[in-house]
């Protein structure tokens, strides 16, 4: 028996030794395969990755130091291979892959240029073929994608409920730390919404132009919004020209432009909802977009005060905070505590019997340990009002607001007038309780903001995000310049130029700038009202040196009234190539110039790169130069990186 036990122990030790050797050989094989893949990537050979389910392949293409782009520039070519191409018998096995939520077609070549960073994710497993050189490529697991997938499912449920109840869909604000993946998350949520049959509006308020996704990159200093549709090659944007890379350079102008965008978007959503609720024949002349809502991307330098102002301006009801626990809990504490205070005030205001509160915020606070979502005990949708009616105008409230808002094409909507008309129209945009809506006629800004539920959602940092440096920012801005001005349009195998060079006289148009200033000095206000600062945005003619405009981006405005330029959206953008002074006759002396007053108005020839829609026959009446005069003087002279000067090096 002892010999048998010794033999069994020796046999077990021998098996363990063999298993250990096999494990070491397997590890060596994996290291060799990884080394072979890296070697193949560096030599540019074709390689194949067998990607397992719920994993992704992260790719960084080669960097290009030159700022010039070519029309058919190609760095790598990627193809998702089907089972039939691999000579497998399992033809019905699904093989899917996606890039930021956009699904890739099997057996189709996708071309990628230089300086691109992306990841190919698969839920089912797939086989990826790559041709060309890359800077980095490796397989990894993305553990955060399931959280964002759950978030997209919840947003789709809100959109379906809004479509059923004929209300405006979720209004989402995305904020977070720098390099946390806000643009990637926005792209992911937009593509997932498109898969579900919704087309949300995307609003870009980050003026740094740090997004490397050309669908969302709208240029430095530009605030833009559009209905997202990745199947359409033509985009109809609503653009406003802020003119700074940092929003704190002129925060009041930033608020003013956001109010203009908010007014246009809410009126568009309400008009779309009006059309479909009153049209019982179900005509398809207009798409249903009101139930899709919108997604607002906020710059990383926005603090708690700026985010609170944007929540009020856009009537936000969902705030997604990425990789910023301090901001997440400060917003959660602010809005949930204010909501509890408002509920207690309403109980006293009603009198008699105590008003039952539908939502116990204390219970909700401790109901979820992860802090992601705060569901309501009654199961109702916190983003919609069951009895929400269609309003004829949208009030835009802010503590430091401008004189008015733009509504549609040149229609000015004053804040005070909108509120008085809104009480007659019984606007219920973004409210959760009919009683609160009916009794909010004389409520202040804080009480009005508490008429709706604001969900604060904390999300982790999106995995795979590579930090951006100065070279990356320069590439993103040059990418916008190339796509806006240089890239040709191809329709039915016919190439059309997108821009051309136009030379105009300085005297043939007007160059204006936007200024923000106090409506009245603080000394003119009573002592108890000096904390109220009403900032107004005014339009004035540019009186600086015209030569400083060389190599700068300007906005084009077709406003019919000089005083409405700050309310109108920008029709196009131009790049000033050169500024030349028109020489006068050489025999005129300086004394004769003074007598004839010729030196008061020296004319200039301005050579600019502009879209082909702008010609010598329809010269725009106004070119917008946002900012104060001292900033305008310094931006080209000192090459300030806070201003959109010297942007296009190519």
Region of 217 (left: φ > 0; alpha: ψ -120 to 50; beta: rest) is beta
Query: Whole-angstrom Cα distance, residue 71 to residue 106?
Result: 25
- For 370-422, the pLDDT digits (tens) are 333 333 333 443 333 333 322 333 333 443 433 333 333 333 333 333 333 34
pLDDT given for residue 399 in this prediction = 39
Query: Whole-angstrom Cα distance, residue 598 to residue 588?
Result: 10
Among 187-191, 283-287, 580-584, the range scoring the smallest mean pLDDT is: 283-287
Q: 455-459 and 318-322 as β-strands: parallel, antiparallel, unpaired?
A: parallel
Q: Which residue has the higher pLDDT, 155 or 520?
A: 155
Quote the percentage of the chain above a pLDDT of 90: 38
HEC assignment per residue over 418-429: HHHHHHHHCCCC
For 560, counting Cβ atoms within 10 Å of its Cβ (0-12 exposed, 13-18 middle, 19+ buried), the class is exposed
- 333-372 burial, b if ≥16 CB within 10 A, otherwise e? eebbeebbebbeebeeeeeeeeeeeebeeeeeeeeeeeeb
Structural domains in the chain, CATH included, are: 44-140 (2.60.120.1030), 145-393+453-459 (3.40.50.300), 488-637 (no CATH)
pLDDT given for residue 405 in this prediction = 37
pLDDT given for residue 91 in this prediction = 55
Count CB-CB contacts under 10 A for residue 82.
Answer: 15
Q: Which residue is it, tokens 């050189």? A: 133
pLDDT given for residue 347 in this prediction = 44
DSSP 301: T
- 185-212 burial, b if ≥16 CB within 10 A, otherwise e? bbbbbbbbbbeeebbbbbbbbbbbbbbb
Count CB-CB contacts under 10 A for residue 133.
Answer: 15
- pLDDT category, 489, cuts 50, 70, 90? confident
Which one, of 350, 427, 346, lies nearest residue 385 by Cα? 427
- For 336-345, the pLDDT digits (tens) are 776 665 554 4
Is pLDDT above 50 for 137? yes
Tokens of 592: 């004769």
SS3 30: helix
- For 55-82, the pLDDT digits (tens) are 999 999 888 766 565 655 678 899 999 8
Is pLDDT above 90 for 518? no
- For 423-458, the pLDDT digits (tens) are 333 343 444 433 333 333 333 333 344 457 899 999
pLDDT given for residue 596 in this prediction = 52
Which one, of 125, 141, 137, 140, lies nearest residue 37 by Cα? 137
Q: Which residue has the higher pLDDT, 534 or 208?
A: 208
State the Cα angle at 327 between 437 and 244, rounded to 5°: 90
Is pLDDT above 60 for 161? yes
DSSP 133: -
Query: Whole-angstrom Cα distance, residue 568 to residue 574?
Result: 17
HEC assignment per residue over 392-440: CCCCCCCCCCCCCEEECCCEEECHHHHHHHHHHHCCCCCCCCHHHHHCC
Are 556 and 619 a contacting pair, CB within 8 Å?
Answer: no
SS3 607: strand
Are 307 and 175 a contacting pair, CB within 8 Å?
Answer: yes
Q: Which helix (H) or strand (E) holds 572?
A: strand 572-581
Query: Whole-angstrom Cα distance, residue 96 to residue 554?
Result: 44
pLDDT given for residue 592 in this prediction = 58
How much is the pTM? 0.73
Q: Which residue has the higher pLDDT, 472 or 373?
A: 472
Q: Which of 145-154, 414-423, 531-540 has the highest average model confidence (pLDDT)?
A: 145-154
- For 384-397, the pLDDT digits (tens) are 333 332 233 333 34
Is pLDDT above 80 for 185? yes
- For 549-606, the pLDDT digits (tens) are 888 899 999 999 999 999 999 999 999 999 998 876 554 555 555 555 544 567 899 9
DSSP 526: -
- For 318-366, the pLDDT digits (tens) are 999 999 999 999 998 888 776 665 554 444 343 433 333 333 333 333 3
CA R_g for the chain: 29
């Amino acid at each position: 028996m002892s010999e048998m036990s010794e033999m069994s122990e020796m046999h077990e030790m021998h098996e363990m030794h063999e298993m250990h050797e096999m494990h070491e050989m397997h590890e060596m094989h994996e290291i060799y395969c990884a080394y072979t893949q890296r070697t193949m990537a560096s030599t540019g050979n074709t390689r194949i990755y067998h990607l397992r389910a719920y994993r992704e392949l992260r790719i960084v293409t080669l960097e290009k130091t030159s700022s010039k782009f070519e029309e058919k520039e190609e760095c790598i070519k990627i193809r998702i291979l089907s089972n039939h191409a691999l000579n497998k018998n399992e033809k019905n096995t699904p093989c899917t892959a996606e890039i930021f939520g956009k699904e890739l077609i099997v057996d189709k070549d996708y071309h990628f240029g230089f300086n691109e960073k992306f990841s190919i994710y698969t839920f089912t497993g797939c086989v990826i073929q790559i041709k060309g050189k890359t800077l980095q490529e490796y397989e990894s697991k993305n553990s955060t994608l399931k959280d964002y997938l759950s978030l997209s499912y919840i947003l789709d449920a809100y959109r379906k409920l809004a479509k059923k109840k004929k209300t405006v869909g979720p209004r989402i604000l995305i904020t977070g730390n720098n390099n946390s993946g806000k643009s990637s998350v926005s792209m992911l949520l937009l593509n997932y919404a498109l898969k579900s049959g919704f087309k949300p509006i995307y609003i870009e308020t980050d003026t740094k132009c740090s997004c490397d996704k050309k669908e969302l990159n709208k240029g430095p200093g530009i605030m833009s919004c559009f209905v997202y549709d990745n199947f359409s090659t033509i985009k109809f944007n609503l653009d406003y020209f802020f003119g700074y890379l940092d929003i704190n350079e002129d925060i009041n102008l930033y608020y003013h432009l956001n109010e203009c965008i908010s007014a246009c978007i809410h009126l568009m959503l309400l008009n779309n909802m009006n059309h479909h609720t009153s049209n019982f024949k179900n005509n398809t002349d207009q798409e249903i977009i009101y139930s899709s809502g919108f997604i607002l991307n906020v710059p990383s330098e926005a603090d708690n005060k700026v985010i609170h102002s944007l929540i009020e301006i856009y009537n936000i009801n969902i705030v997604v905070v990425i990789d910023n626990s301090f901001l997440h809990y400060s917003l959660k504490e602010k809005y949930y505590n204010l909501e509890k205070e408002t509920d207690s005030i309403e109980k006293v205001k009603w009198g008699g019997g105590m008003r039952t509160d539908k939502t116990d915020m204390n219970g909700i606070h401790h109901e979820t340990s992860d802090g992601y979502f705060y569901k309501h005990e009654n199961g109702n949708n916190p983003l919609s009002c069951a009895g929400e009616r269609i309003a004829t105008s949208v009030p835009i409230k802010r503590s430091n607001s401008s004189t008015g808002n733009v509504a549609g094409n040149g229609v000015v909507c004053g804040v005070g007038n909108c509120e008085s008309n809104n009480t007659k129209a019984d606007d219920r945009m973004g409210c959760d309780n009919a009683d609160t809506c009916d009794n909010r006629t004389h409520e202040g800004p804080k009480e009005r903001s508490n008429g709706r539920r604001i969900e604060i959602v904390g999300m982790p940092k999106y995995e795979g995000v590579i930090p951006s440096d100065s070279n990356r920012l320069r590439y993103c801005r040059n990418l916008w310049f190339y796509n806006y001005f240089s890239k040709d349009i191809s329709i039915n195998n016919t190439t059309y130029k997108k821009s051309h060079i136009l030379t105009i006289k300085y005297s043939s148009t007007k160059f204006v700038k936007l200024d923000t200033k106090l409506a009245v000095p603080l000394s003119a206000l009573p002592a108890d009202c000096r904390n109220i600062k009403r900032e107004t945005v005014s339009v004035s003619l540019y009186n600086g040196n015209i030569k400083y405009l060389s190599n700068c981006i300007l906005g084009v405005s077709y406003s019919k009234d000089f005083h409405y330029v700050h309310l109108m959206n920008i029709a196009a953008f131009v790049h000033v190539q050169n500024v030349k002074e028109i020489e006068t006759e050489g025999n005129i002396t300086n004394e004769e110039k003074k007598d004839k007053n010729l030196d008061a108005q020296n004319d200039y020839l301005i050579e600019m790169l502009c879209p082909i829609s702008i010609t010598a026959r329809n010269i725009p009446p106004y070119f917008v130069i946002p900012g104060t005069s001292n900033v305008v003087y310094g931006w080209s002279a000192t090459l300030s990186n806070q201003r959109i000067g010297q942007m296009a090096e190519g």
